Amino acid sequence: MERIYLDNNATTPVDPGVFAAMRPYLEHACGNPSSSHALGREAAWAVARARRQVADLLACEPDEVVFTSGGTESDNAALFSAHFSPLCPRPGKRRIVTTRVEHPAVHDLCRRMAEQGCDVVFLDVDERGLPDLDAYTRALTPDTALVSVMWANNETGVLLPVAEMAARARDRGILFHTDAVQAVGKVPVDLSAAPVDLLSLSAHKFHGPKGVGALFVRRSCPFHPHFLGGGQEQGRRPGTENVPGIVGLGAACEIAGQRMAANMERVRSLRDRLERGLIADIPGARVHGKEAPRLPNTANISFADVPARDLVRRLDEQGLCVSSGAACHAGSPEPSRVLAAMRVPAPLALSAVRFSLSRLTTAEEVDAAILHVTRAVDQAMTRTRGT
């Protein structure tokens, strides 16, 4: 069975150019970058080149890039750093401002911090998935230590107004972190224009390998490492570097940067074709987040009366890989927290399926996906009606 993969917000296939770049570091170029011999120097050089490739994509300085094990670690490192920073206001008066639609790597840590006495403000979003900027500005009190707002939502693709929010935090001397895991490599992320202090990214969301990512830490931003150990990454992230992974991340950044504008347009037109096809063929199909600026690759669509879990299973049997929400909680019977925050009624939220395309998706795959979904919804409705 030919599989069609439309679950690229969960993870993406590794680009052949990325694989080729990594290969020597999985074979003979086995040195530890801290070793002073030739193989060590070769590994250190490869890590330095990858750091420049990441910095070039983000328009920042190489020494502002800290390699990590992925998005989750970067998010945790950013929040822990700000939480324990001596620059934070007095204990018990530390405020963190975030939104209700963050990935669990931020949301659950913020909830934990709230349980431990931290004053955490979870901003509401409207039906479009966007926070109210006046309410946000009111939340930025003098004892606010950090803001953490995602660049792009993983379930709906909605792009939050991060540059504007970061500017308002900067005006008040408040650190700003953004989880840009779903944005980097898909849309321009320009740190020379957005005054964010900390930014998380993850290689496997844009055709790099799994288990490697980076945290951007602006030179002016105080940083307190969460892990203690060796002096790697200028003491900001100890542990022997994942050299093949870091090389893969660097290559993924370079490739994404080269083809960004053309890929965005192509992927957007395929995503729109998918949405148009499904809306035309399936009565009651509703797209979530389409009134807001969105990633070009993501479509989150409810098919009224058809539980998403059943639909995803049926589609899987037909060879179409999609998701009934974020990959990390796709098994959950609860309606998505993100859709609930957007005031999508629970029955509709429970029928929401996420389709996420990539630059490797073809028009033929999109057309086949429309047929698969239309047939699967039809079968499910027939069954429900008992006919």
Contacts with ligand PLP by CB under 6 A lie at: 70-72, 75, 103, 105, 150, 154, 179, 181-182, 202, 213
Closest approach, Cβ 75 to ligand PLP, in A, equals 6
The rounded distance, in Å, linking the Cα atoms of 201 and 204 is 9
Cα-based distances in Å from 117 to 80, 91, 95, 96, 171? 14, 9, 10, 11, 26
Which region, left, alpha or beta, applies to residue 328 given φ > 0 means left and ψ of -120 to 50 means alpha?
A: alpha
Count of CB atoms situated within 10 Å of the CB of 116: 9
Residue closer to ligand PLP by CB (options 93, 226) is 226
Q: Residue 121 or 158: which CB sits closer to ligand PLP?
A: 158
User: Among residues 7 and 254, whose Cβ is nearest to ligand PLP?
Assistant: 7
Minimum distance of ligand PLP from residue 326's CB (angstroms): 6
DSSP letter (8 states) at residue 158? B
* Shortest Å, Cβ 217 to ligand PLP: 17
Alpha carbon dihedral 217, 62, 75, 129, in 10-degree steps, equals: 90
Catalytic residue, candidates 30, 60, 321, 328:
328
Query: How many CA atoms within 13 Å lie on the side-chain side of 207?
Result: 23
Minimal CB distance residue for ligand PLP: 71
**Of residues 295 and 306, the one with the C-beta less far from ligand PLP:** 295
Q: What is the spatial distance between Cα 219 and Cα 258, in angstroms, rounded to a whole number?
A: 26
When the beta carbons of 103 and 237 are compared against ligand PLP, the nearer one is: 103
Task: Please give the C-alpha separations between residue 275 and each of 18, 240, 306, in angstroms, as whole numbers.
Answer: 31, 45, 17
Alpha helices in 27-70 (DSSP H): 38-58
Q: Is 176 exposed, middle or buried (0-12, 13-18, 19+ CB in 10 A)?
A: buried
- DSSP for residue 159: B
118 is catalytic: no
Shortest Cβ 241–ligand PLP spacing (Å): 17
At 225, list the tokens.
Answer: 């490492």
Q: How far is the CB of 327 from ligand PLP (least distance, A)?
A: 6
Which residues have a catalytic role annotated? 328
